[in-house]
Amino acid sequence: MNRYFHKELEEIRSKLILIGEKANEAGRLAVEGFIESDLEKTQAAVKMDDEIDDLEVEIDRASVRYITLRSPVSSDVRLIFVAIKASHDLERAGDEAHSIAKKTRTILTRDGKVKNPVEIEKMSALAFAMMRDAITSLLDENLELAQGIIKRDKEVDRINKENYTTLYNEMKGEHGDSSTHVETILISKSIERIADHAKNLAEEVIYLLTGE
């Protein structure tokens, strides 16, 4: 028997998907802004952060209300629990996108153009694919997909480490552009973080689906 308040649960779930989409979109815009030296995309990414924050608050509020008024149990209560945690992760992913965009803006306003010696594009493609898959696994309740995401985090970590080494070495050799290098290191780190949040989200989906 489906109860009328189960609709509220579905609303929470769709809000969760929505916040995921938005976080992913913000990250994509921020990275594209960096790679293409596109200030507009960067600005768009900065603006999205507020929407994401609002959505997180909405999800939290709806979750608490659902727990208080509907006394959920079993998979329902896991969904609420996952919603609270995942919305937090996604909000943090949004924050990382926000920070990428701000750093890109700093570089662009200072240099006019980003000179990028490292693998940001491939790395971000990997990270966003993870994030997209994590959201899809939540939407489709796809356990295998979620389990696959966790391993993929290693590759992102490795690229991040490479980027760091490359940039660090460059900074030791030439003494021209160290501030851009520091910002690029941080951007790389943010992308790595986004991948971490995608991994967390995947783990939460696994918890939602298996209860473990």
Partner 1 sequence: MSQTPETTNARADFEPFIQIKDNYNFWYGSTQVLFDMNLDIPEKQVTAFIGPSGCGKSTLLRSINRMNDLIEGIHHTGDITIADQSIYDPSLEVISLRKRIGMVFQKYNPFPKSIYENIVFSLRIAGRNKKSELDEVVERSLRGAALWDEVKDRLHESALSMSGGQMQRLCIARAIANNPEVILMDEPCSALDPIATGKVEELIHELKKDYTIVIVTHNMQQAARVSDRTAFFYLGKLIEYDVTDNIFMKPSNEQTEAYVSGRFG
By CB neighbour count within 10 A (0-12 exposed, 13-18 middle, 19+ buried), where does 182 fall? middle
| Binding of partner 1 by 73 (CB under 8 A) | no
Is position 57 an interface residue for partner 1 (rule: CB under 8 A)?
no
DSSP character for 142?
A: -
- Interface mask (CB under 8 A) for partner 1, residues 104-143, using x and -? ----------------------------------------
Q: Over the range 139-150, which residues count as b (16 or more CB within 10 Å of their CB) and which as e?
A: eeeeeebbbebb
CA dist 3 and 156 (Å) reads 43
The only residue of 40, 57, 69, 157 in contact with partner 1, by rule CB under 8 A: 69
Q: What number of chain residues touch partner 1 (CB under 8 A)? A: 10
Q: Match 């929470």 to its residue by tokens.
A: 12
Question: Applying CB under 8 A, does 7 fall inside the site for partner 1?
Answer: no
Q: Is 5 in the site for partner 1 (CB under 8 A)?
A: yes
Stretch that binds partner 1, among 64-72, 107-115, 123-131, 144-152 (CB under 8 A): 64-72
Q: Environment class of residue 132 by beta-carbon count within 10 Å: exposed (0-12), middle (13-18) or buried (19+)?
A: middle
Contacting residue, 10, 54, 57, 64, with partner 1 by CB under 8 A: 64
76 binds partner 1, rule: CB under 8 A: no
Q: Which is nearer to partner 1, 68 or 74 (CB)?
A: 68
CB atoms within 10 A of CB 6: 13
**Residue with smaller CB distance to partner 1, 10 or 174:** 10
The pair of structure tokens assigned to 23 is 């976080």
Q: How far is the CB of 1 from partner 1 (least distance, A)?
A: 6
Residue located via tokens 């959920």: 72
Binding residues for partner 1, rule: CB under 8 A, are 1, 3-5, 64-65, 68-71
